[in-house]
């Protein structure tokens, strides 16, 4: 019986150690910057995949200038997956499964549709015809090829699909083009109630108008102060609850008027972080405690058993002696 207790205790503690708080992503691996192999996920193994019926259509703006932000839009059509299941979407620069993110060819992701800077995102509730956006900063002039891919479940099998190659040309910046500086990086996330003010770094821009909208709704104008000499300061309205805001800048000057992409700003509840190392150390401590407790109880039981056996032997011996005298 004591051996069974030890085994049960050890199994319970090992299960506690096996719990990974960071892997609580049923049906997905979580958003991130991944190659097409998705960090070794099963969807990246062609031997295990069924072909997705989804049609993936990539588009960008007509003119893309070196060092400037542009929007990559992915429209998903003919999707047959469950609307409640997570759908994984990639923006890629190759299909080799190794070093094939946009960053690997010099592009910088400024924001994705979920208010982060990932080339792979998972979305639940995606329906046929929906569009997902990434805002990227272009590198030096030249031609670049992109792909989109999708992974999802269905019929008890992983499904995978990839778009046709989509080539874009990055052009040199025209003279006097009003624009954001190459160093400007937008804020992509904030907390509920947080005041959001930032300097909008521009070049060759005499006027700036900033528009914002909530979840793709009606556009409103933000408060913009300052000028081209001292810089432009932008204040976006504070959010009182979790929401998704998009904002863009309309820049005027001697050159043609330019409008930036819609940058995504996600408002989240104030959260807390979990130190997984501390959790594992605590689990190990629990394991050691229960193992020690089990050994202690087992030792005590053996001691009591030995005492009982000794007492029984003494009584038996006494009775035998008394019987012999009689």
Two domains, one topology: 31-172 and 174-271: yes
**Of the ranges 120-129, 300-309, 314-323, the best mean pLDDT one:** 120-129
What pLDDT is attached to residue 263? Answer: 96
Lowest mean per-residue pLDDT among 44-53, 58-67, 116-125 = 44-53
Domain boundaries, the chain: 2-12+274-325, 31-172, 174-271
Task: Tell me the CATH number for domain 31-172.
Answer: 2.60.40.150
CA dihedral sign, ordered 170, 175, 178, 180: positive
Residue 22: is its pLDDT beyond 50? Answer: no
Task: Tell me the CATH number for domain 174-271.
Answer: 2.60.40.10
User: If phi over 0 gives left and psi between -120 and 50 gives alpha, with beta otherwise, what is residue 299?
Assistant: alpha
pTM: 0.72
What pLDDT is attached to residue 108? Answer: 97
CB-based contact 205:184 (threshold 8 Å): no
Helices (H), the chain: 2-18, 276-325
Q: Classify 12 as helix, strand or coil.
A: helix
CB-based contact 126:87 (threshold 8 Å): yes
Of 51 and 148, more confident: 148
CA dihedral sign, ordered 95, 96, 101, 102: negative
Lowest mean per-residue pLDDT among 39-43, 170-174, 293-297, 305-309 = 39-43
61-79 per-position pLDDT tens digit: 989 999 999 999 999 998 8
**What average pLDDT does range 142-165 have in this prediction?**
90
């Amino acid at each position: 019986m004591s051996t069974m207790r030890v085994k049960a205790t050890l199994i319970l503690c090992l299960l506690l150690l096996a719990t990974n708080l960071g892997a609580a992503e049923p049906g997905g691996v979580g958003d991130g910057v991944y190659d097409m192999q998705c960090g070794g996920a099963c969807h990246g193994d062609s031997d295990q995949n069924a072909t997705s019926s989804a049609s993936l259509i990539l588009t960008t703006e007509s003119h893309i200038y070196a060092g400037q932000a542009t929007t990559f839009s992915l429209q998903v059509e003919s999707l047959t997956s469950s609307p409640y299941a997570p759908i994984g979407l990639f923006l890629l620069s190759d299909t080799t499964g190794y070093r094939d993110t946009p960053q690997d060819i010099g592009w910088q992701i400024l924001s994705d549709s979920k208010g982060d800077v990932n080339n792979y995102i998972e979305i639940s509730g995606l329906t046929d015809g929906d569009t997902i956006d990434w805002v990227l900063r272009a590198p030096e002039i030249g031609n670049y090829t992109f792909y989109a891919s999708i992974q999802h479940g269905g019929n008890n099998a992983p499904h995978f699909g990839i778009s046709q190659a989509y080539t874009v040309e990055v052009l040199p910046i025209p003279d006097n083009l009003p624009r954001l500086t190459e160093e400007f990086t937008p804020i992509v996330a904030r907390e509920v109630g947080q005041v959001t003010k930032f300097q909008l770094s521009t070049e060759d821009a005499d006027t700036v108008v900033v528009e914002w909208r909530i979840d793709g709704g009606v556009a409103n104008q933000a408060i913009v102060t300052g000028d081209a000499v001292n810089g432009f300061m932008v204040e976006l309205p504070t959010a009182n609850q979790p929401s998704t805001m998009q904002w863009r800048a309309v820049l005027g000057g001697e050159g043609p008027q330019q409008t930036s992409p819609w940058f995504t700003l996600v408002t989240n509840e104030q959260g807390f972080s979990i130190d997984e190392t501390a959790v594992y150390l605590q689990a190990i401590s629990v394991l050691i405690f229960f193992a020690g407790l089990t050994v202690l109880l087992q030792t005590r039981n053996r001691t009591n058993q030995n005492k009982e056996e000794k007492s029984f032997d003494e009584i038996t011996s006494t009775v035998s002696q008394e019987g012999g005298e009689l």
